[in-house]
Structure 1
């Protein structure tokens, strides 16, 4: 085989590798999302959006609303849209602050995928009680182990595609080398 054909084959194989990598990146961005809702200790609510599959931040635009209801059902707040918070790319806050009081806050997302989460929040100028339990050393270790396990898993389809591409490249290489060495008649 001539030199131009080998270069063309190398470009095709490199393109295949890039295509597989891009496909994997897009696959990670698809699927269900997870919302974590918590009060900030004042009158605001923080919503963290991550992908359920791997826990990575949702970097796409999130379309979501917040609705709050008092425990006895006598007062309601919202729905108000969520806006991106300046503190992080996957952190969102409601466009209006919660009125003072106890609230059951529900956040519903519609884009990039549907999700819903609820929590109880105490809203006021001074935080009385933390709305989440403290993060202990055991819980941090548990989260680290879970993150390690999810990061080490490769989908079987991806392994199969990459393996098939490598085998095809090796076969093409040997065919090209053998055809160069074949005697001319």
Structure 2
């Protein structure tokens, strides 16, 4: 894939994704993420999902907008083929204060296992550890009860 970050629209990163060999625009679903790091390295934004721009089928954008400042933006495409681009973008404060256009409409494609996993809320690792601990403690208690009953201790 040839990925070209073309700039931004009111802070929303805009990108074109084409097939590398023939430069035809990709007309199928694209799975891509956008990340940004401020010029001073102190702030990060993303990962955000890249979605097709409803006003221009040849363009992809983000629903989220970058705050004012200078950003090093990277776009990484994983489907239908691999591709990557990285550009410096400056979002002026006046561009963000104007009323931005509405965010892109969600994709009309039915969710797949990949998109459902990507859209699922993040899970806390502590929850899984706690659940595993409860199961382990319950299993150990059951083993002790059965063993004590067999030995005649109740």
Q: TM-score, normalised by structure 2?
A: 0.58
* Residue number in structure 2 paired with 1:132: none
More displaced 10-residue stretch of structure 1: 53-62 or 85-94:
85-94
Please say if 1:115 is aligned against 2:83. Answer: yes
Quote the RMSD (CA, aligned, Å). 1.4
What is the CA–CA distance in structure 1 between the aligned matches of 2:67 and 2:58, rounded to whole Å? 24
The structure number with the bigger radius of gyration is 1
Shift of residue 82 of structure 1? 0.9
Could you list the per-position Cα deviations for residues 2-55 of structure 1 after superposition, in whole angstroms to 9, with x for gaps in the alignment?
xxxxxxxxxxxxxxxxxxxxxxxxxxxxxxx10110223631211101111111
Correspondent of 1:65 among 33, 36, 40: 33
* Residue number in structure 1 paired with 2:109: none
Structure 2 gap segments, 5+ residues each: 96-154
What is the CA–CA distance in structure 1 between the aligned matches of 2:88 and 2:10, rounded to whole Å? 13
Correspondent of 2:72 among 80, 85, 104: 104
Give 1 or 2: higher helix fraction: 1
Shift of residue 100 of structure 1? 1.0
Shift of residue 98 of structure 1? 0.7
Please say if 1:89 is aligned against 2:57. Answer: yes
* Residue number in structure 1 paired with 2:92: 124
Contact 1:106–1:117, Cα closer than 8 Å, also in 2: yes
Structure 1 gap segments, 5+ residues each: 1-32, 128-185
Shift of residue 89 of structure 1? 2.1
Please say if 1:52 is aligned against 2:20. Answer: yes
Please say if 1:75 is aligned against 2:67. Answer: no
Q: How many residue pairs are counted as aligned between the two chains?
A: 95
What is the CA–CA distance in structure 2 between the aligned matches of 1:125 and 1:72, rounded to whole Å? 17
